[in-house]
């Protein structure tokens, strides 16, 4: 069965944070810095996907870039709140 390209709920040991971004996006640069810091502090993996590489992501999220997902669920868009991200990663799952 083909998987939807916007499905971030894989049950494997996938990175817990996914950031959907685009090239030349200053908000993406800011979000990336927060995600890198939090992920490093908590020992959590993360991955970045560009809307330029995936038409389905571009169609769905181009107005909200950057978009962050935690454990497959949309968490934030435009800006990443560091405290809120830490809480999402350390709270009950």
Residue 69: left if φ>0, alpha if ψ -120 to 50, beta else—which one? beta
> Hey, where are the domains in the chain?
17-90
Distance, C-alpha 65 to centroid of its chain: 10
CATH fold, domain 17-90, is Glutaredoxin (3.40.30)
Q: How many helices (H) and strands (E) does the chain have?
A: 3, 4
As a whole number, mean pLDDT of residues 33-47 equals 97
Rounded-to-integer distance, Cα 7 and Cα 25, Å: 23
Rounded-to-integer distance, Cα 68 and Cα 56, Å: 16
Is residue 44 within a helix (H) or strand (E), and if so which, with residue range? Answer: none
pLDDT of 67 above 70: yes
Report the SS3 class of residue 42: helix
pLDDT tens string 44-56: 999 999 999 999 9
């Amino acid at each position: 069965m083909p998987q939807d390209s916007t499905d971030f709920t894989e049950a494997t040991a996938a990175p817990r944070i996914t950031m959907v971004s685009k090239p030349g996006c200053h908000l993406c640069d800011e979000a990336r810095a927060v995600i890198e810091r939090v992920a490093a502090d908590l020992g959590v993996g993360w991955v970045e996907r560009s809307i330029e590489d995936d038409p389905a992501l571009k169609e769905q999220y181009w107005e909200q870039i950057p978009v962050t997902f935690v454990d497959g669920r949309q968490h934030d868009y435009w800006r990443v709140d560091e405290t809120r991200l830490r809480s999402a990663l350390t709270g009950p799952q």
